[in-house]
Structure 1
Amino acid sequence: MGNRKILIVDDEWSMRNLLKIYLHKEGFDYSEATNGKEALQTIGSSSFEVIVLDLMMPDMDGIEVCKKIRDQSDVPILMLTARKETKDKVEGLNMGADDYLTKPFEPEELVARINSLIRRKSTSILPTVKEKVLKIDGLTIDHVSRKVIVHQSVIEVTPKEFDLLYLLANHPERVYTRENILDIIWEGDFIGYERTVDTHVKSIRSKLRKAGLPFNPIETVWGVGYKFNPGHKQ
């Protein structure tokens, strides 16, 4: 399996120990953090294939930790929680989490989800890549470096925001429903959470508008979904 390193972030010793047993059995290397501050320090000094992050922690909860991780890294994040409310799942996904697992869970499912995140990271999830670099009216979307640039300034976007923007920009003639986008970008794991797509679209629009982009890059097709506004392609 190789030396695939996982960071476990949970304030409960029993859960960290249980996760370590599962991961060790599957041949993973691992580190652990007992709180958000410790997790951020660990991430800053080492690299990981996946972060397993508990939602309910004192001082800094998993949502806040996830947001701070996304400010410095695109490492895949699997969130764990005892909560089952849809709003908690949506909030975690909106902050940049890649997957969500509710306690209690089977060890086989945990390992399968971690392996899925590793595969997603190593391969493009976008269908039929037409162009590696797209340039439209001051907007550059570079699929190789995964950078979004407006007037020579790099814009900070989350991995999912990049994938969504590139998907639409790479197929400007197509209208995507929210279900289409969830199925492609989130690989069908979160069907039913269409609000997640709306939140990501809103965030992309806001970031690019603040950067001075002279047009709205994502059009809403009422009653259907979203499509890219191609502007004047260079």
Structure 2
Amino acid sequence: MTSSPLILEGAAHILIVDDDDRIRNLLKRYLAENGFRTSTASNASEARGLMSSVTFDLLILDVMMPGESGFDLTKSVRGISNVPVLLLTARGLPEDRIKGLEMGADDYLSKPFEPRELLLRVNALLRRTQPAALEKKELKFGDCVFSLGRGELRKNGELVRLTAGEAALLKALAQKPREAMSRESLAEQTASSMERSVDVQVTRLRKKIEEDPRAPIYLQTVRGIGYALMAD
């Protein structure tokens, strides 16, 4: 059974293809909680139907599916698209990993895996395959303009000095403007050791962005979730 996409404006759209209902639903929920749009399919045929009408930013494919395997689907997808492909499998043998890469996969993750590792790999693949668009993208909020490609913030035309951590956090938020992002997701994307570190960086950023950091307009707290950058 194919699920309807969870629509979040501006978020990367990921297709999860796995014949295991439990894993498929767990991945869908976890990725959605971390700000991604998600659609699912239980086999290659369903996946093809979705891909014929929807453009996806990343595919997560189980290798061992009945009928057409993840290897086969990857090979056929590569004939028509450069969309990044992450393969999942219960078999972590070197020859399987090599075969997956030969078919055109971009990355390979063996089951069982930690969800946070999956999230790191997904973000790494998206960063690797979408750099050109980010280089030109600028986001405006109030008197500020942030360049995602250069990681530069300007306020009233003047360059604002950012630490590496502040720039990484602002970039993560700017890639999904006006969307709530969890502290966990932000910690993963900014290499912060703890979610508490994200809170500290947010406090520092507000002092550089907001007119009144105690009543933020642009870098807002989303109760029970995390933070959102309210771009113009």
Q: Normalised by the size of structure 2, how large is the TM-score?
A: 0.52
Deviations 1:169-217 (A, max 9, x none): xxxxxxxxxxxxxxxxxxxxxxxxxxxxxxxxxxxxxxxxxxxxxxxxx
How far apart, CA to CA, are the structure 2 residues paired with 1:116 and 1:44? 26
Deviation by residue 1:131-163 (Cα, 9 ceiling, x = unmatched) = xxxxxxxxxxxxxxxxxxxxxxxxxxxxxxxxx
Equivalent residue runs for 1:160-171 within 5 Å: none
Q: Per-residue deviation at 1:58?
A: 0.2
Which of 7, 18, 21 lines up with 2:15 in the alignment?
7
**Cα deviation, residue 14, structure 1:** 0.4
Quote the Cα distance in structure 2 between the aligned partners of 1:67 and 1:47.
Answer: 18
User: Unaligned stretches of 5+ in structure 2?
Assistant: 1-8, 133-232
Which residue in 1 is equivalent to 2:80? Answer: 72
Structure 1 stretches of 4+ moved >3 Å: none
Deviation at 1:123, TM superposition (A): 2.3
1:121 aligns with 2:103: no
Corresponding residue for residue 61 of structure 1: 69
State the shift of 1:2 in Å.
3.5
Q: 1:89 aligns with which of 87, 97, 106?
A: 97
Asked if the contact 1:2–1:27 (Cα under 8 Å) also holds between the matched residues in 2, the reply is: no
1:108 is aligned to 2:116? yes
Structure 2 matches for 1:219-230, cutoff 5 A? Answer: none
Shift of 1:22: 1.1
> 1:48-104 CA deviation, whole Å, 9 max, x = no partner?
111000000001011001011111111000000010110000000000000000111
Q: Distance in 1 between matches of 2:69 and 2:21?
A: 16
Rounded to whole Å, the distance in 2 between the matches of 1:88 and 1:99 is: 12
Q: Is the 8 A contact 1:81 1:101 kept in 2?
A: yes
| Residue aligned with 1:105, SS | coil
Amino acid at match of 2:91: R
C-alpha distance in structure 1 between counterparts of 2:20 and 2:42, whole Å: 7
Over aligned residues, Cα RMSD in angstroms?
A: 1.3
Please give the alpha-carbon distance, in whole angstroms, between the structure 2 residues aligned to 1:109 and 1:38: 27
How far residue 23 of structure 1 moved from its aligned partner, in angstroms, is 0.3
Q: Which of 52, 55, 58 matches 1:47?
A: 55
Q: What one-letter code is carried by the residue in structure 1 that aligns with 2:89?
A: T
CA distance in 1, matches of 2:52, 2:60: 16
- Cα distance in 1 for residues equivalent to 2:68 and 2:104: 16
Aligned length: 124
Mapped to 2, the partners of 1:83 and 1:108 lie a distance apart of 20
Preserved CA contact (<8 Å) 1:23 1:30: yes
SS at match of 1:52: strand
Residue 45 of structure 1: SS of its match in structure 2?
coil
Q: TM-score if structure 1 supplies the norm length? A: 0.51
**AA aligned opposite 1:101:** L
Q: Which amino acid aligns with 1:30?
A: T
In structure 2, C-alpha distance between the alignment counterparts of 1:43 and 1:74, rounded to whole Å: 13
